[in-house]
Structure 1
Amino acid sequence: MSTLLSRLHSDVTRTFSSSNLQKCGEHLSKAKLALIESDLIFPSVHKKVEELVAARDILEIGAFWSIRTKDVPSFDRYFSQLQTFYNDLSSVLPPSQREYPIRGLNLIRLLTQNRIADFHTTLESLPLPAEKLVTNPYIQHPVNLELWLMEGSYSKVWNAREEAPAEEYKFFVDSLMGTIRQIASCEEAAYHVLPLKDAATLLFFRTQSEVLNFAQERNWQIDIAAGQIVFPHKSEEDMEIPREKLIANDLVYARELEQIV
């Protein structure tokens, strides 16, 4: 392995371990350039094993770094680049302890993007026998999340944040909770007034300030003195049924189901 690649590998590992995300990002940029120049981004089996392992380590750290910096497109790129190492070079490389944590993160990413058919296709293509899928915590976590979302068991999704097998998983669970809160916020059509503490429970918030921020984003009226939210209600004359949007959504769901089946 070249001296430059060895040094960059060490710099990336060291700064990531110290949680210096800014420095780690700078070193990752330099390391990826070195990987490109060395034909190690999409390598062949003819490369030295130590070079391939170093390249894989750098890309894996990049995937985790992307989540810690909340850069999902960057995670997508790193995950795509890792596929050669995970799928094509698995027979010549030693196993990576980061592989299934990263594969699990990718599954949750698909859930947050509502790509249910892709989620199932990716799950079925994992190089693990069925009995090991259910015992791998990094895979079982997104599988459970998908099941609970389909069931509407949103409280279980909320509790799953504390049961995440890796810290990075919490980022995507938080994204899922944002979607769930948008669904739960339909309570404005069911209530005229709702106590703040009840709103916190329904929307899965821990603090009153989180509820207040969410309420302000949706232009709900807040009565701090009374400790309640007042929902603005439209008259029946002002309410319209979004027929075209409902039909479009139904067609999307139908296509997703066809792909799953």
Structure 2
Amino acid sequence: MVDANALIADLSRQVQADDIESGKITLTKIKIWMLEIPSGQGAPVESITLAANALELGVLLSVADDDLDAFARNMSQLKPYYAALSSCNAATTERKCHVLGLNLMHLLVDNRLSEFHAELELLSEDEAGTPYVSFPITLERQLMVGSYDEVLDAGSNVPDPSYSFFMENLLETVRDSIADCVEVSYKSMKLADAVKMMKFESTEELQEYLQDKREDWIVEGDRLTFQPPPMGSKAVDIPSMKLMAQTLSYATELERIV
């Protein structure tokens, strides 16, 4: 007979020790045991709680393994157990807010904002107020108003190290947005200013970014020079003077008619 409590204790130790391969084996054993749990209202609350605890650890394990597919699978399997615990007014699990916050981070990084807000609707006021959940909520608001500096600074203030995986992906997206703005706003810029603006730790990090993402930016001494954007893709290509002349012409003709 499977001792689910012992397996979950093993999985907890493996997650804490970043023993990913052993954790995967243990999680598989637990999921096989979970198949024996009765579905519907007849399921024992203790078994439901154990299953939820195991899947929460599975979520943390997938983050440690940088495996977004496994993360999504574990979250999908976990949600029915949360619903079952809620329907029978059982006590919430210890890691619930932590896991819910990670799921919000996942949705934010994927830019699945409609799902992000749908998940917020399911949260209680107490859950939304925890650091785990309030962190992605604040990030989403900062992104919506374009407060990129605050988003970049948030990378050093995550509520738990497990959030760093999603923050790295989010910071990459934010840096790309800043780079898009910079190259249409400036003809050139000091390297030191670009490092500061994009929150890199050093000029070397900026140059690595340029090699990966911005090969058309030119480094000349201590300055960056931005290539003109391709025709038809940026605001600079809009024939503003021609449009202005046409508008004035239309206005003159309209005045004559009136």
Give the TM-score normalised by the residue count of structure 1: 0.79
Q: Higher Cα Rg: structure 1 or 2? A: 2
Q: What secondary structure does 2:199 align onto?
A: coil
User: Quick one: which of 69, 88, 98 aligns to 1:101?
Assistant: 98
How far has the Cα of 1:114 moved from its partner? 1.4
How far has the Cα of 1:4 moved from its partner? 4.6
User: Quick one: which of 157, 163, 173 aligns to 2:157?
Assistant: 163
Match of 1:16 in 2: 15
Match of 2:183 in 1: 188
User: Quick one: which of 199, 204, 210 aligns to 2:205?
Assistant: 210
Q: Deviations over 1:85-138 (max 9, x none)?
A: 211223264321211111111112111111222211210122x14xx3553222
Match of 1:258 in 2: none
> How far, CA to CA, are the matches of 1:214 and 1:182 in structure 2?
10
> How far, CA to CA, are the matches of 2:89 and 2:146 in structure 1?
43
Q: Deviations over 1:47-100 (max 9, x none)?
A: 333332222111000011111222122111111111112112232643212111
> How far, CA to CA, are the matches of 1:32 and 1:21 in structure 2?
16
Match of 1:116 in 2: 113
Match of 1:29 in 2: 28
> How far, CA to CA, are the matches of 1:22 and 1:209 in structure 2?
34
User: Quick one: which of 54, 58, 64 aligns to 2:60?
Assistant: 64
Identity %: 29
Aligned length: 231
Segment of structure 1 superposing worse, 183-192 or 153-162: 183-192
How far has the Cα of 1:191 moved from its partner? 2.9
TM alignment of 1:235-254, pairs within 5 A: 239-241=231-233
CA RMSD of aligned residues (A): 2.3
Match of 2:253 in 1: none
* Alpha-carbon distance change, 117 to 3 in structure 1, aligned in 2, over 3 angstroms: closer
> How far, CA to CA, are the matches of 1:210 and 1:83 in structure 2?
40
Segment of structure 1 superposing worse, 10-19 or 144-153: 10-19
Whether the aligned pair in 1 keeps the contact of 2:49 and 2:85 (CA below 8 Å) is: no
Q: What secondary structure does 1:152 align onto?
A: coil
Match of 1:254 in 2: none
TM alignment of 1:40-55, pairs within 5 A: 43-55=39-51
2:85 pairs with 1:89: yes
Greater relative contact order (CA < 8 Å, ≥ 6 in sequence): 1
Whether the aligned pair in 1 keeps the contact of 2:97 and 2:127 (CA below 8 Å) is: no
Whether the aligned pair in 1 keeps the contact of 2:218 and 2:226 (CA below 8 Å) is: yes
Unmatched 5+ stretches in structure 2: 236-258
Q: Deviations over 1:144-169 (max 9, x none)?
A: 11111111111111222222222212
> How far, CA to CA, are the matches of 1:11 and 1:46 in structure 2?
28
* Alpha-carbon distance change, 162 to 242 in structure 1, aligned in 2, over 3 angstroms: closer
> How far, CA to CA, are the matches of 1:232 and 1:9 in structure 2?
56
> How far, CA to CA, are the matches of 2:131 and 2:5 in structure 1?
32
Match of 2:252 in 1: none
Give the TM-score normalised by the residue count of structure 2: 0.80
